[in-house]
Structures are given as C-alpha cells and as structure tokens.
Amino acid sequence: MNFRIHRQGLPAIALFVGVTALASWAWPPLSVPGVILCLWCVWFFRDPDRRTPTGSGLIICPADGRVLPIVKAPPPEELEMGATPLTRISIFMNVFNVHVNRIPADGKVTAVHYRPGKFFNASFDKASIYNERLSARMTTAAGDDIAFVQIAGLVARRIRSDLVAGQDVTAGVRYGIIRFGSRVDVYLPDGLTPMVHEGEITVAGETVLASRGTGAATDKE
C-alpha cells in the first residue's frame, strides 16, 4: 500500500506529536489519548493515489465525502458568472474523509478568488453563502463553464489551493486541501447531467460527478 501524507499535514502532525510528548512527560496516563490523536492526525492528512476516469464531457468529483441535496443556486458572485441558478452539487467532508481536493476536469482555470466569511457547519445550506471560501472558475476541454468552491466548516479554518488564473489543469490532479471537516461545491451549466444522488459517498478523482453525452469512460492513473 502506497501511504502518502500531504505536505500541509506535516506541521500539524509535528504539533500533535510534540504536545503528546510533553503531556505524557507531565502525566503518563495522557500518553494513550495523545497517541490516538496523533494517529488520527496522520490518517486525516493521508493522500492516496487515485485512478481518474477519462472521457469527453465528464466532471470528476473533487472531494471525498457525502453528497448533500442537489439544488439550483447562483454561483459565487465574485466569479462573475451571472445570477442565473446553476445545478449545484455539494460534497460534505467529515473529519475522517480524505481532505485533499482534485481538479474536476481537463481545461483552463479562468478565475480564482478567496473570500473570508463565517464558519457555520459545512453541511448547512447557508455555508455556501456565508462561510469562508476559495472559489475557482474554469472552462473545461469540452467547453463548459463550471465553478468549484472550497468552503470552510465549523471546525475547518484553513483552506489551501495551488490554483492561479490562466493555469491549464488536468482532471484528477491534486490542487488543494481543507482542514478539518468542510465541503466543496461544484456549479454546473445546463447540459451536464448529475451522475450522483443525495447521500452517495464519493471518492475524489474517481467518482464521476456529472456527464455531458454518453461517451465511455476509461481510467487513468
């Protein structure tokens, strides 16, 4: 098994280990819960390899987690995509999910915008409007204008993204991480049909979130 830790997790793991060592030295019974928390921290920042499906018009899920209700909603205003409601598919990540996020399609990033905000529970619908977020807009290789948004949650207070406007991207490639517990919203134009349903468990870089047409999908590393 290829077990990788995301680089953003190294400082947090070091902090957990350091605090556990000091607490255990001060009072040995604390060593047991401390080790459990250290192991959880390592598990949280795991970064497994994924096999990404390929095919014309596919939108790949950018996050591990659970699909929230699929609704029509305007995309983030800072992306300047207009106020017309688009299909929004939201993925909620709990503290046990992989939190590394992945690019949903081949194409070019056209805008990236960070907006500070509140920290409501990420499973609440209002989190998409009021919470801290990092929004990205892209034109896919199939010509679709989509948005994907990293949203902080009740516990999550750190959003990291490597994206810049004008960047060419590939579906399934890692681009960021949110810690600890959060959500990712994907906004889709008409013509892209959701391939997931509310309550479904998704895998970043592998689950087909939506599709245009009936082209067959194949896997790539």
End-to-end CA distance of the chain: 15
DSSP string, 156-191: --EEEE---TT-EE-TT-EEEEEESSEEEEEEE-TT
Our answer to whether residue 182 is catalytic in this structure is yes
- Active-site entry in 90, 128, 135, 182: 182
Q: Rounded to whole angstroms, what are the CA distances from 151 to 29, 76, 79, 93, 214?
A: 37, 11, 15, 10, 31
On the 0-12 / 13-18 / 19+ scale of CB atoms within 10 A, 123 is middle
State the catalytic residues: 182
